[in-house]
Amino acid sequence: MKAKSAVARAEEFKELHLYYTTRTDNPLKKMQSLIVIACKLLRVIYTILTKGTNYDPKKMLMDIRRPTKQEALAA
């Protein structure tokens, strides 16, 4: 349930959900994507609580593989 509300309210989780469901290599179904996001949300919360770090959405979005310039030129 929390993953669903995170996708609905937070732009970074919305972007992750869109990436997981539309990627060309092994796209996930919507519920599979929500489960992956729920696990990621738990890991983020655990790291914040145990290490005392601040939440950084840019660091979390590092899972998204964006094409490099070389790949974009080859396509």
The yes-or-no verdict on residue 75 having pLDDT over 80 is: no
C-alpha distance from residue 23 to each of 1, 50, 52, 66 (Å): 23, 32, 33, 10
The yes-or-no verdict on residue 71 having pLDDT over 60 is: no
C-alpha distance from residue 53 to each of 48, 57, 59 (Å): 5, 12, 12
pTM (two decimals): 0.77
| Domain segments of the chain as ranges | 2-74
Give the pLDDT confidence of 31-70 residue by residue, as tens digits: 999 999 999 999 889 999 999 989 888 887 887 776 665 5
Give the pLDDT confidence of 4-32 residue by residue, as tens digits: 888 888 888 898 899 999 988 889 999 99
- State the pLDDT at residue 38: 93
| Maximum alpha-carbon separation in the chain | 43
